Chains A and B, each alone.
Chain A
Amino acid sequence: MSESLTPPADGAAFVSKSAAAIDRAKAAGRKALIAYLPAGFPDKQASINAAIAVARNGADIIEIGIPYSDPVMDGAVIQAATTQALAQGFHVADVFDVVAAVTAETDAAVLVMTYWNPVLRMGVDEFARRLAEAGGAGLITPDLIPDEASEWFAASEKYGLDRVFLVAPSSTPERVAMTVQASRGFVYAVSIMGVTGARSSVSNAAQAVVTAAQLAGAERVCVGLGVSKPEHVREIAAYADGVIVGTALVVALRDGGVPAVGALAKELSGGLSTTAPSTSSTTGV
């Protein structure tokens, strides 16, 4: 497997869509906002509308989650949302429609976040082919570590997709280095030892994880897990290249529909400009 860990990251023809989105934000003087929403929640069309609203209100990258029966990295809010989507008949192939629709309507890069078994079931190559065809940027893989990813390396190379792996506060320097090298697009720095869900403050472990990834050579590092408020976003924007928000957006969508999730995205993105003064409002999520 080790030979597959060092793919040619910068093939001449390859442009990482997520890296480009982060770089565009940087060029505009701010950090990137990465917004997670599950496909099929509250239903397929509404999930498309919500993702478009979020992109039009400041999200640079949209992360579309595939509902899965056993989401061990997710907290109660996202579990409830994805369980509802599955109960309503969501199918994995629906995610390609969501990706295609959001890609067609917005400038955002669209990543898919998925547990690995649905990809394995479809076939890694087939999944990658269809994702690329839909205009997707790549995959975020919460339960796939580079050690097990040889098939995904091959498929992501073949179809020009980003590989976003996670690094955690518990990752050893050796594993951080290996994961940074395996990733493409950006590296997902897990801010806390835990699962997804809104928290009152950002773990101070987050900055250390980002620093470790940067020391290992990561060009773009984004922070996720437990990020829910504009002040979190501002805090993280001081040291990371992007901020990933999930649960808070799902709560807004659940409780207030598409207008509410759009409004929250706007408020969160207000915290991202490195020059703009900070707003004092909180979202109450």
Chain B
Amino acid sequence: MAPMPTASSSDPADMNDAATAFLAGSADGGGFVQEHSLRHAPGPYFGSYGGRWMPESLIAALDELEETFEKAKVDPDFLAEIAELNKNYSGRPSLLTEAKRFSAHAGGARIFLKREDLNHTGSHKINNVLGQALLAKRMGKTRIIAETGAGQHGVASATAAALLGLECVVYMGAEDCRRQALNVARMQLLGATVVPVTNGSQTLKDAINDALRDWVANVESTHYLLGTVAGAHPFPAMVRFFHEVIGQEAREQILTQVGRLPDAVCACIGGGSNAIGLFHGFLDDDDVKMYGFEAGGDGIETGRHAATITLGKPGVLHGARSYVMQDDDGQTIESHSISAGLDYPGVGPEHAYLADLGRVRYEPIDDAEAMAAFKLLCQTEGIIPAIESAHALAGAMKVGQRLTEGESTPSDTIIIVNLSGRGDKDVETAAAWFGMLDEQGNVKGTMLSTRSAKGATTMDNNAEDATNE
């Protein structure tokens, strides 16, 4: 890149659109680029947000990454490689499933689920890690590092590293390691090294800090595979590019299934990668309303939440100017959410821009609302969603009720919700939330067999097992 980060390529939008169409396997991806298109924003700036608030030591690596990415995204060989992996490894295109019984709880609006939960590794994260891992190889890097909160991005990164023969180190807050021990084991099974981070709040933001420290020291051999649309340029625009396939597919699928565009699209927002991927397909369709749902945690009035756009202020964190949860001194405030994937005090700069423009409306969904929607989807559709995605579902219920109010045929209203991940990882959290666990953390009613008697000291009510010993 030229010394000035503003010096981005003159008009990459045309080529971008062809590339995205190719990525999505569509012959007709370039039909709606307008003069004032919001799509394919190239960075480094999104309005006054974005940029590179980074140590000089990393600027050369960011320049190298930007250059590699800009070449790759118009390189038919690279795009074919991505398309092949998306199809035959991740299992794309992901389905668009109408949630017919769930819809009754959204005012009768027809709810369609974009099934990113069905991708390999169980979430949208795979889209980005495959793309970035391929770029890492193009740059000749042999090692990738990643941060992870709940472990989804860490697992996805470890997966891509295994697939492409790269060394992988994942930074994970010590507190998150404890809460998500099974995901630590998954990453280790995939050959990755997991480093517990004991600095600061021992959660996602501190894992990013340590990953950045590693990157500064090992930048020659190492690519930092950032997991969301935050960070310094080119990460926000690049990570979005790899997720644009979500919106491309959803747009085609809804046109095929219903014959028209949706009235609204809904997604959850942590850093905002699944959301920007879905939104991108509809950004220039002015009649499509867009909603991003942030984690309201215990309720935004309690101060214990992760509603960064709703209550944060502009600042710089982890390399980009965006909304940040911060105190009057500019110190980052710890976020809180039942969903580890949304538990981040920052947000991608493009979302900050779309919020200020009013193109996307951002609202908080608290833990209780999300968990109610979680249970509802389980029991109306037979789909266990990630708790992150449950925030989008809860939001869609509200949006559906709002949009259908006073409408004689509410089923004329169509809403797409990004079901960004599956809930297998969240079963323990959900079981605890719904009171399904006993004091020892075991699922109630499951500890009656001989297995529990071994080593137990208070099983005198189980005399039969005791005599069998």
Binding site for B on A (CB under 8 A): 1-2, 68-73, 75-76, 79, 83, 86, 91-92, 116-122, 142-145, 147-148, 165-172, 174-175, 178-179, 190, 193-195
Q: In the complex, which range does the number of interface residues on chain B fall in? A: 35 or more
Which residues on B sit within 8 Å (CB–CB) of A167? 56
Which residue of B has the minimal Cβ distance to A118? B330
Which residue of B has the minimal Cβ distance to A91? B329
Q: Mark B190-221, 1 if CB is under 8 A from A, else 0.
A: 00000000011000011001001100111110
Bound CA–CA A22/B330 (angstroms): 32
Closest chain A CB from B204 CB (angstroms): 12
B59 A145 Cβ-Cβ under 8 A:
yes
Verify if B324 is at the interface (C-beta below 8 Å from A). yes
Verify if B52 is at the interface (C-beta below 8 Å from A). yes
Give the top 3 A-B pairs by smallest Cβ distance, nearest first. Answer: A121-B330, A118-B330, A168-B57
Closest chain B CB from A225 CB (angstroms): 9
Which residue of A has the minimal Cβ distance to B217? A194
B55 A92 Cβ-Cβ under 8 A:
no
Bound CA–CA A142/B57 (angstroms): 10
A120 B316 Cβ-Cβ under 8 A:
yes
B57 A193 Cβ-Cβ under 8 A:
yes
Which residues on A sit within 8 Å (CB–CB) of B218? 193
Closest chain B CB from A159 CB (angstroms): 19
B330 A122 Cβ-Cβ under 8 A:
yes
24 A-B contacts (beta carbon < 8 Å): A69-B200, A73-B216, A91-B329, A92-B329, A116-B53, A116-B316, A117-B316, A117-B324, A117-B326, A118-B330, A121-B315, A142-B55, A145-B52, A145-B53, A147-B5, A147-B52, A148-B51, A168-B57, A170-B219, A171-B59, A172-B63, A174-B3, A195-B216, A195-B217
A175 B330 Cβ-Cβ under 8 A:
no
Interface centre among A121, A172, A175 (most CB of B within 10 A): A121
Which residues on B sit within 8 Å (CB–CB) of A195? 213, 216-217
B199 A79 Cβ-Cβ under 8 A:
yes
B55 A70 Cβ-Cβ under 8 A:
no
Which residue of B has the minimal Cβ distance to A146? B3
Given A70-B200, A170-B219, A194-B217, the answer on whether A120 and B330 have CB atoms closer than 8 Å is: yes
Of A73, A79, A86, the contact of B331 (CB 8 Å cutoff): A86
A92 B59 Cβ-Cβ under 8 A:
no
Interface centre among A147, A168, A169 (most CB of B within 10 A): A147
Given A73-B216, A120-B316, the answer on whether A145 and B56 have CB atoms closer than 8 Å is: yes
Bound CA–CA A23/B61 (angstroms): 35
Bound CA–CA A120/B51 (angstroms): 15
Which residues on A sit within 8 Å (CB–CB) of B329? 91-92, 118, 121-122
Which residues on B sit within 8 Å (CB–CB) of A144? 53
Bound CA–CA A178/B60 (angstroms): 14
Bound CA–CA A179/B55 (angstroms): 12
Which residues on B sit within 8 Å (CB–CB) of A142? 55
A72 B55 Cβ-Cβ under 8 A:
yes
Verify if B456 is at the interface (C-beta below 8 Å from A). no
Bound CA–CA A174/B7 (angstroms): 14
Verify if B332 is at the interface (C-beta below 8 Å from A). yes
Verify if B8 is at the interface (C-beta below 8 Å from A). no
Verify if B144 is at the interface (C-beta below 8 Å from A). no
Which residues on B sit within 8 Å (CB–CB) of A143? 53-55, 316
